[in-house]
Structure 1
């Protein structure tokens, strides 16, 4: 595959998009950011901005002409929009597509069956069809939960509030990665197109357990006054299915339950057995560096 130099980024203003944009620019890629028509978001002067109608394949195709790769970091609520983006990328002659994965191991059979990942799997199937029809290739990047973001918002652990949910006791290992490292992994994928072609790629800053993070939280914020909630993931998943039975289920409620299961549940594959860190130039964090991330959020939650 020829060198990738021109990259289109969809979802550049979300939680992950800015970190990927920064790393792409640092690495010297020519970046075009796709924005919804009427968007008021601003980007660095070196970035080309292309307003698009995400509901129009024609609009997306025109914006993607001449691009070597497309990276989608569209939010979960807009995952289905990627189907038009995939079709447009194929029509425009794009070489590589990275869909909005960036999380749990949706290639894992048990994980892929969770309803919160329905559209991710649909997009994966669409990409596989494009391999056959247009010759476009794809890469799925699996990195576990966002480590720094998860600490910042209290999803992984609330250091400032001294509380943590220990799912099934909190002793299962899981892979986790910071936003900046995910951006660096994307750069690594684009620089190694053949080695990362048409497969899932796995990266992590560290593999840890919730109990190990709790000990680091106590070092950072002090050992006293912690609330340690032992939570049954069977009950979390059951509550998710109950929410889905409602006439108008709340996606924010049921999706979060299933995502938690995909990270901390047994058999969902979020402790990555084989990593692509070395290929992508990603060095795992030392224990001191992991502690440093925890320390950062003692007063930032």
Structure 2
């Protein structure tokens, strides 16, 4: 079929999310090319073609992307702005689908999009919208994959619940519902998008493993550690935002002191679209977790 996608280039295949997406792409039978920085020592499965690139060179990127049907970007936060050149290169190379490194908060929601921490993601979305609007039939299109915070990663590093320290931070009391997704499911969602290019063309898709609350995860954490003592604290999102804006106004603001606070606001604040009440799970072949499966994931990190 004319719109079938078989050849996929992935940028950022060695970060937190990249390996999970790479694994699912390979399992689904795609021909995968990993874009790597020149001199990189990362290794990949034998079936993966490796293409060293200079992310600051349009010529280098266009050369690497010729013949590719799709680009999946999982570039880390510090490198998100480099996607603008990657988008241009994809358009020039004849790539037909671009999935940007957006996975996470609902950055197409106006309130979330206005947070400074998401400025680079929003800029890439706009660049993709412009390229898609100007594209000839069969030209560059895009899909933004929105997943909420990464559930398994968030448990591992203590972002959604610090299971390791037996400590829960309950933002505004921890009762707001938010969508969250594990890394393997995000990989499966990407596969779903590439298998349904027409249904996912030039729009955002919403997927989640579950919609839950911090307090519910806290209860699962306690259930996973019977007899152990947990501590908890309630933090106001209003205070997180005040601290973030104050840091940002400094002459030399420290991103480490404001970025994550904006992230927390987008996930656990009021009105940021963090709960995906309607999802594309069915279209993309994603099933929600049962309570038992969610408990098993929390217990894994206890």
2:124 paired with 1:120? no
CA RMSD of superposed structures (Å)? 0.8
Q: Is the 8 A contact 1:57 1:84 kept in 2?
A: yes
Q: CA deviation at 1:250?
A: 1.1
- Residue in 2 that maps onto 1:83: 84
Partner of 1:156 in structure 2?
A: 160
**What secondary structure sits across from 2:45 in the alignment?**
coil
Residues 229-268 of structure 1 correspond to what in structure 2 (within 5 A)? 229-268=233-272
User: For the residues of structure 2 that align with 1:217 and 1:258, how far apart are their CA atoms?
Assistant: 25
Post-superposition offset of 1:133? 2.5
CA drift of 1:132 comes to 2.4
Within 5 Å, give how 1:47-86 maps onto structure 2: 47-86=48-87
Aligned to 1:199: 203
The answer on 1:182 being equivalent to 2:183 is: no
Number of equivalenced pairs: 298
Alignment match, 1:295: 299
CA distance in 2, matches of 1:7, 1:117: 26
Residue 281 of structure 1 corresponds to: 285
Distance in 2 (CA, whole Å) between partners of 1:253 and 1:51 is 34
Question: What pairs up with 1:165-176 in 2 under 5 angstroms?
Answer: 165-176=169-180
Quote the offset at 1:256 in angstroms.
0.3
Is 1:272 aligned with 2:276? Answer: yes
1:252, distance to aligned residue in structure 2 (A): 1.9
Q: Secondary structure in 2 aligned to 1:161?
A: coil
Unaligned runs of 5+ in 2: none
Tell me how far apart the structure 2 counterparts of residues 119 and 253 of structure 1 sit (CA, whole Å): 18
1:21 has 2:22 as partner: yes
Residue 75 of structure 1 and its aligned partner are, at CA, apart by 0.5
Give secondary structure in 1 for the equivalent of 2:175: coil
1:97 equivalent in alignment to 2:98: yes
Q: Would you say the 8 A contact 1:71–1:100 is kept in 2?
A: yes
Any gaps of 5 or more consecutive residues in structure 1?
Answer: none
TM-score by length of 2: 0.97
Moved more, 131-140 or 117-126: 131-140
Q: Distance in 1 between matches of 2:84 and 2:257?
A: 25
Secondary structure, in 3 states, of the residue corresponding to 1:50?
A: strand
